[in-house]
Amino acid sequence: MVIKHLFLPSVYTNCYLLGDEESGAAAVIDPGAPAPELVDAAREAGLTIRAVFLTHGHYDHVGGVADLLERLGNIPVYLHPEDAGKSDPLMPTAALGDVTLWRDGDVVKLGNLNVEVLHTPGHSKGSVVLKCRDILFTGDTLFAGSMGRTDLPGGSYEEIMASLKRLGELEGDFQVLPGHEGFSTLEAERKGNYYMREALADG
């Protein structure tokens, strides 16, 4: 498994390239702004970008999709249905055209990698966390020491707490690669993240 991280300074978003070395298949996770260097990085690693994975539909996570499709052609763009087809500045997902809808429990094959979809609403109705082996791509659900804001349209404190509880109750430890700021581990968040501790203590 290959993971390359690219920070997109124009939107302060973490974008990731996830690839399978054996098959050469790769996906871009949350291209929040045009980043032609992603295509170059994939090529240098011997990878072919075959899909775009979106953890949710906010502009700072989808803003580079059109540029990628222009460069790569008609590859599938995966998005939860709750965030699809929106036409406001915060969530301009209707402009993405036809997307491939994924839902909780879906497993998407990326070469020999299995990417499991965990629906984790709270930051947005359609927020998801992507689980691949020992990695969690948490989007704006879980941050190092914090969580996504819930005061935007579609946000819910109760829902994000339930989502954090679900993540905290996953068996074992995982690397946490969030949509913004630094990286962490799930065990570190169980121990030191106030919001996750609150979620796990509830009930």
pLDDT digits (tens, 9 = 90+) for 123-181: 999 999 999 999 999 999 999 999 999 999 999 999 999 999 999 999 999 999 999 99
Q: Cβ atoms within 10 A of the Cβ of 12, count?
A: 13
| Assigned CATH topology for domain 2-201 | Metallo-beta-lactamase; Chain A (3.60.15)
Residue ranges covered by each domain of the chain: 2-201
Q: Cβ atoms within 10 A of the Cβ of 169, count?
A: 10
pLDDT higher than threshold 80 for residue 200:
yes
First to last CA, the chain: 37
Rounded Cα distance, 129 and 116, in Å: 8
pLDDT higher than threshold 80 for residue 78:
yes
**Tell me, what DSSP letter sits at residue 123?**
S
pLDDT the model gives residue 195: 97
pLDDT digits (tens, 9 = 90+) for 90-106: 999 999 999 999 999 99
Q: Are 13 and 174 in contact (CB under 8 A)?
A: no
pLDDT the model gives residue 203: 58
Q: Where are the beta strands (DSSP E) in the chain?
A: 2-8, 13-19, 25-29, 48-53, 77-79, 100-101, 107-110, 113-119, 128-132, 135-139, 142-143, 146-147, 175-178, 184-185
Phi-psi region of 82 (alpha: psi -120 to 50; beta: other; left: phi over 0): alpha
Burial of 129 (0-12, 13-18, 19+ CB in 10 A): buried
